[in-house]
Amino acid sequence: MSGALRSALTLAVLAVLVLIAAVWGWAALTAPLPREEPVAICEDETVTAGSEVRRDQVVVSVFNGSGRSGLAGATSAQLAERGFVEGDIGDSPLPATTTQIWSADPTNPAVLLVKRQFRRAEVVQGEALGPGIVVVVGENFQALRKKQVESVVTKADATYCRATGSE
């Protein structure tokens, strides 16, 4: 094989490789970016009677039912300092005088654990405004209880929205 033929063959192979790399690069450049699936803040978990439910396993969404600005955010921050997982924060669609925990099951261990953080909180029927346990702080809300309840033991089988990543 002569030198000119070898050079021409080498250039042809290199041109094909550059063409393949250009097509692959263009396809990679114009491909849609991979979408990261959002991770749920909590997932339903069933616990058996006698199981312990701790604060770091419970997501609490706090909504302001009063006319005081920032009450939901401040209350959520206080609950987070105690170890609860922060859910949504916002304004309640309905005004409230007292602190309310919106739940269909007042005996749920996660509801009881959250209720024990407040003075005179009442469990009422309500829709899920956010993930986890929904708390609506009302006009009469002043502060959380000084005594911090760290966990509750379930008296019966129950299901609650357990914080993802908690052990």
How much is the pTM?
A: 0.76
What pLDDT, in 10s, does the model give residues 41-69? 999 999 999 999 999 999 999 999 998 99
pLDDT, average across residues 132-149: 92
Residue 150 sits in the same domain as residue 68: yes
Query: What gap in Å lies between CA 68 and CA 122, rounded to an integer?
Result: 20
Residue 26 sits in the same domain as residue 66: no
Q: Is the pLDDT of residue 166 over 90?
A: no
Block residue for tokens 């309840």: 149
Residue 50 sits in the same domain as residue 6: no
For 1, the domain range is 1-35
Residue 130 sits in the same domain as residue 48: yes
What pLDDT, in 10s, does the model give residues 80-129? 999 999 999 999 998 999 999 999 888 999 999 999 999 889 999 888 88
Q: Which residue has the higher pLDDT, 39 or 91?
A: 91
Residue 51 sits in the same domain as residue 103: yes
Number of structural domains the chain divides into: 2
